[in-house]
Chain A
Amino acid sequence: AQKITQTQPGMFVQEKEAVTLDCTYDTSDPSYGLFWYKQPSSGEMIFLIYQGSYDQQNATEGRYSLNFQKARKSANLVISASQLGDSAMYFCAMREGGLGSQGNLIFGKGTKLSVKP
């Protein structure tokens, strides 16, 4: 069974609009971390945001926020005020185990975001 599911292979958003990229996960571990990475066409993996399973508040980093719904096992990424430079692949990932756990990341298949001018 897939541990990370990203159901949107591709998304379009108008520049300056907000967009939500979906991610659902599956784990039986009570401690886990959820990550979003951006991969532009140049190929590098850029860390965007992290949410711990015990974090009380949704994570935010600038224009990025994570809509964490633990009961639904979802960790959607919200990008506000989209910019042309946001066009990229976005990967959701999970690490089982809490802070201090150094387990590997399990990635979803990604969502390709295209920002239209």
Chain B
Amino acid sequence: EPEVTQTPSHQVTQMGQEVILRCVPISNHLYFYWYRQILGQKVEFLVSFYNNEISEKSEIFDDQFSVERPDGSNFTLKIRSTKLEDSAMYFCASVVPTYNEQFFGPGTRLTVL
């Protein structure tokens, strides 16, 4: 069964460093999302992406964040200058238009020291 994959599974970085989280959505999916989950808290929407552009973003998704689909398969989330409060699990999800379920990847646990 096709699945969303994410790399790395765990990333440790120093405050102020840039990180890039990678996702490979399911191949025929058209809509892509990033969510984050701070430890012990609920899952929060960051951004959605369709047709090579952002379709919606939350107030969390400030200028420190960016997304792109550089090569038609990967979908990346970049955090330019990480802060301690960016430590969280980051989930990528994708969906086809005629289906309800958003398929989630296994997540990347980001730890900012």
B13-36 residues at the A interface, CB under 8 angstroms: 31, 33, 35
On whether the beta carbons of A45 and B91 are closer than 8 Å, the reply is yes
- Interface size, B (range): 20 to 34
Q: How many cross-chain pairs have Cβ atoms below 8 Å apart between A and B?
A: 61
Chain B residues lying within 8 Å of A106, measured Cβ to Cβ, are: 45
On whether the beta carbons of B43 and A107 are closer than 8 Å, the reply is yes
Contact of B95 (CB < 8 Å), options: A37, A102, A110: A102
A9-48 contact mask (Cβ, 8 Å, vs B): 1 or 0: 0000000000000000000000001010100000111110
The majority secondary structure among interface residues of chain B is: strand
Known: A50-B100, A52-B100, A104-B33. A43 touches B45 (CB 8 A): no
Known: A104-B56, A109-B41. A45 touches B50 (CB 8 A): no
B41-83 contact mask (Cβ, 8 Å, vs A): 1 or 0: 1111100101000011010000000000000000000000000
- CB-CB nearest in chain A for B47: A104
On whether the beta carbons of A102 and B100 are closer than 8 Å, the reply is no
Expressed in whole angstroms, the minimum distance between the Cβ of A60 and any Cβ of chain B is 15
Expressed in whole angstroms, the minimum distance between the Cβ of A97 and any Cβ of chain B is 11
Chain A positions near chain B (C-beta within 8 angstroms): 33, 35, 37, 43-47, 50, 52, 91, 93, 99-100, 102-110
Q: Could you list 15 A-B pairs, sorted by A, with CB under 8 Å? A: A35-B101, A43-B89, A44-B106, A45-B43, A45-B91, A45-B104, A47-B103, A102-B31, A103-B48, A103-B56, A105-B102, A106-B45, A107-B43, A109-B41, A109-B42
